[in-house]
Chains A and B, each alone.
Chain A
């Protein structure tokens, strides 16, 4: 294998090959279709049951039905709940025009048309967030111990027998996913159920998901399916449906876990345009080199010249 720019940034066809697996299974991932998420949180529980995670505290957060708050070392799935006005629908069905004439008298009702009580422009979005298993994973790149590694499935996994809790990955992740567990000292995040994959099982969350909002499979297939789903939704007038993390040309080379969203990513607590820090590694090292050279030059130069003794 040769090391090339693609290993650090941009589209990368064969992530597992790039990680040194000469023979490997297809890259797998999650497609989370939030348009069918019912917010039941089965994913959160199934994940904890399988991975034997500790609870995350018992605090009422007052954020709709979300009492998990965010992904953490102990919560590898997080369902977001967003209550908001619904966008207007161009394809809204004609109303009075095709109404059946009841032959009944109609009249204005007291209070009719004041807006509030007849409001229908409201919606409740739900979305199950998870580690993105980036093509270029900030956490993996910065890990100094090799605890974080790319598996043969193209996923990104922390090896708990290796991690020494340096915490670098926490700041390396542009999605704010991975975190260090306080009483344990190590970093934890979704493994896409690495142990299950090896046995041909699907990850616990995807298996439990009642409405198939979380779909697991070969990434290429999921991307195809997702594009079709968006087209279907657009046809039905849900024009705000869009994919997030699906594009191999994005700042992380595309996510192994991507989403169909119904609003801007930041509304769900996701960064609008994340970039793997490694993109700029070359220029950072170059600048550091210049600074080091200047530092060295200064250090040498201070010994020359007349001393004010």
Chain B
């Protein structure tokens, strides 16, 4: 930037030569203000989602951008097309970005051994494998072939599950299907609560 450019960018100069004599508007605008744009304009894509809190089912637009750290959520806000929510969100829905991007989210599998006093990290495949062994063990220990009258039960009372009201239908479907095939019956969720 040459000296003349520099002077021309000086608001006092702009005050004296432009329409904003009092230096309260146009003349005082900073370069950043002149170039501003919403961060959603940087989004690589906008995907359609649904708020994960209550059951109204407000539509959300998720703006995804990327930087050196990979892809990240730039913004989540209401989708005005929705006949349910008309683009509006409550405080929880409005906090969705913090929900999914906050540092409270765990990223690693954690394991607490029997009688342990601390967490320890475990890699995911190992954890799943250990869990599968325990599932089979609990299933066996709680297995009931028949009731007292000899009627078939074909089930285990050794495994219980709770959860599903914030999960997808597809997920609930697989949960129920797998546990049913295992013979587990104590499968419950928030709908009972």
Chain A residues close to B by CB (< 8 Å): 1, 3, 7, 16, 18-22, 40-42, 44-46, 49-50, 140-141, 146-152, 157, 159-162, 193-196, 198-199, 201, 204, 207-210, 212
Which residues in A have their C-beta under 8 angstroms from that of B27?
20, 146
Closest 3 CB pairs of A and B: A19-B25, A20-B20, A146-B28
* A210 pairs with B90, CB closer than 8 A: yes
Which residues in B have their C-beta under 8 angstroms from that of A140?
24
* A161 pairs with B30, CB closer than 8 A: yes
Partner of A22, one of B19, B24, B36, B94: B19
Which residues in B have their C-beta under 8 angstroms from that of A20?
18-21, 24-27
* B88 pairs with A207, CB closer than 8 A: yes
* B75 pairs with A146, CB closer than 8 A: no
* A150 pairs with B77, CB closer than 8 A: no
A147 and B29 alpha carbons, distance in the complex (Å): 8
Closest chain A residue, CB of each to CB of B32: A161
* A149 pairs with B28, CB closer than 8 A: yes
* A46 pairs with B37, CB closer than 8 A: no
* B38 pairs with A199, CB closer than 8 A: yes
B33 CB to nearest chain A CB (Å): 5
Instruction: Check A1/B20 contact, CB under 8 A, given A159-B32, A208-B78.
Output: yes
Instruction: Check A198/B30 contact, CB under 8 A, given A40-B91, A150-B24.
Output: no
Any chain A CB within 8 A of the CB of B87?
yes
A-facing residues in B125-153 (Cβ within 8 Å): none
A46 CB to nearest chain B CB (Å): 4
Any chain A CB within 8 A of the CB of B22?
yes
* B33 pairs with A7, CB closer than 8 A: no
Which residues in B have their C-beta under 8 angstroms from that of A7?
22
Chain B interface bracket (under 10, 10 to 19, 20 to 34, 35 or more):
35 or more
* B25 pairs with A16, CB closer than 8 A: yes
Instruction: Check A204/B37 contact, CB under 8 A, given A1-B19, A16-B25, A146-B23.
Output: no
Partner of A42, one of B30, B80, B93, B98: B93
Closest chain A residue, CB of each to CB of B23: A146
Chain B 45-85 interface 0/1 with A at a Cβ cutoff of 8 Å (1 = within):
00000000000000000000000000000011110100000
* B98 pairs with A149, CB closer than 8 A: no
Instruction: Check A49/B36 contact, CB under 8 A, given A140-B24, A146-B23.
Output: no
* B38 pairs with A49, CB closer than 8 A: no
* B19 pairs with A45, CB closer than 8 A: no
Closest chain A residue, CB of each to CB of B36: A195
* B22 pairs with A40, CB closer than 8 A: no
Closest chain A residue, CB of each to CB of B96: A49
Closest chain A residue, CB of each to CB of B76: A49
Which residues in A have their C-beta under 8 angstroms from that of B90?
40, 42, 208, 210
Closest chain A residue, CB of each to CB of B33: A159
Partner of A49, one of B19, B22, B97: B97
* B36 pairs with A3, CB closer than 8 A: no
* A210 pairs with B88, CB closer than 8 A: yes
Instruction: Check A207/B26 contact, CB under 8 A, given A49-B98, A159-B32.
Output: no
Partner of A198, one of B19, B38, B94: B38
Instruction: Check A207/B87 contact, CB under 8 A, given A149-B28, A195-B37, A198-B36.
Output: yes
A7 and B24 alpha carbons, distance in the complex (Å): 10
Any chain A CB within 8 A of the CB of B175?
no
A279 CB to nearest chain B CB (Å): 15
What are 19 A-B contacts with C-beta separation under 8 Å? A19-B24, A20-B20, A20-B27, A21-B25, A42-B94, A49-B75, A49-B95, A50-B75, A147-B28, A149-B24, A149-B28, A150-B25, A160-B32, A193-B38, A194-B33, A198-B37, A199-B37, A199-B40, A201-B40
